[in-house]
């Protein structure tokens, strides 16, 4: 599959601080990216997506940044809460081919109270 | 809120046995998927299914695997002769037609343990 990977396997942050989770990809043809959150014992849950014609997209307390030059995307979580503790995956696919996503290795986010 | 449901939540089987994992996708979704996650590793694509046929499959999805939509609600993954390395969490997912987004709705998974 395509090489979609994460820099940091574990990230610990203090409650209330901002979190930044990073992801690198190697396929320059990748056009569409999604961040998923996976809580313990559950399936992945969609957080936010971004297409390659954008470099930033904001949601509720989350922002995804895409840097196509260096094939890097990040997920920023503002005012991190204990409920944000989970494993976060980036996933990519060619645009409009939603049949198959390649997931990265995952980063575990620990939020300390 | 509609959700994808999977059964069983956990299955233990002997190597060489056949296993069927079942999924009920969200009712108005028409794209269905199976992914798997070996413990501590990343989520891996297995197969996608639309209009009663496989749309895409990965190299993992070999002849030992098959999928079926036997009726209007169930979507199944069959492993004919399980191997030790098939031990993993298997996730079913579905997505809506024309949503213009890749948002997949995942079930909570079926854990398969092959002994």
pLDDT tens, N- to C-terminus, chain A (113 residues):
444 544 448 999 999 999 999 999 877 788 899 999 999 888 999 999 999 999 999 999 999 999 999 999 999 999 999 999 999 999 998 766 777 888 888 899 999 98
Contact at CB, B31 and A98, closer than 8 angstroms? yes
If DSSP codes are grouped into helix, strand and coil, which group holds residue B52?
coil
Q: How many CB atoms lie within 10 A of CB B49?
A: 23
Would an 8 Å CB–CB cutoff place A2 in contact with chain B?
no
Q: What pLDDT sits at residue A95?
A: 66
Provide the pLDDT confidence category of residue B73 given band limits of 50, 70 and 90.
confident
Q: How far apart are CA B111 and CA A76, in angstroms?
A: 31
Contact at CB, B31 and A99, closer than 8 angstroms? yes
Residues of B with CB under 8 A from a CB of A: 4, 31, 33, 35, 41-45, 48, 50, 55-56, 58, 91, 93, 95, 101-109
pLDDT in tens, B15-46: 999 999 999 999 889 899 999 999 878 899 99
Q: How far apart are CA A52 and CA B7, in angstroms?
A: 37
Contacts 24+ apart (CB under 8 A), A52-55: A52/A95
Q: What pLDDT sits at residue A96?
A: 65
> Which chain A residue shows the shortest CA-CA distance from B56?
A99
């Amino acid at each position: 599959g395509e090489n979609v990977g994460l820099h940091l396997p574990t990230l610990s942050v203090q409650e209330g601080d901002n979190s930044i989770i990073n992801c690198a990809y190697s396929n320059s043809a990748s056009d569409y990216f999604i961040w998923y959150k996976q809580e313990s014992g559950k399936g992945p849950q969609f957080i936010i997506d971004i297409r390659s014609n954008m470099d930033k997209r904001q949601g509720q307390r989350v922002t995804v940044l895409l840097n196509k030059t260096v094939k890097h995307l990040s997920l920023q979580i503002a005012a991190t809460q204990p409920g944000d503790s989970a494993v976060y995956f980036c996933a990519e696919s060619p645009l409009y081919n939603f049949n198959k996503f390649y997931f990265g290795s995952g980063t575990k986010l620990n939020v300390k109270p | 809120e509609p959700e994808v449901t999977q059964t069983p939540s956990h299955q233990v089987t002997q190597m060489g046995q056949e296993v069927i994992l079942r999924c009920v996708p969200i009712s108005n979704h028409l794209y269905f998927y199976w992914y798997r996650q070996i413990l501590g590793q990343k989520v891996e694509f297995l197969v996608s299914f639309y209009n009663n046929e496989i749309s895409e499959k990965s190299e993992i999805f070999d002849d030992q695997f098959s999928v079926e939509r036997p009726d209007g609600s169930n979507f199944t993954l069959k492993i004919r002769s399980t191997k030790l390395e098939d031990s993993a969490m298997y996730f079913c997912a579905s997505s809506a037609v024309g949503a213009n987004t890749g948002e997949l709705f995942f079930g909570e998974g079926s854990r398969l343990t092959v002994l």
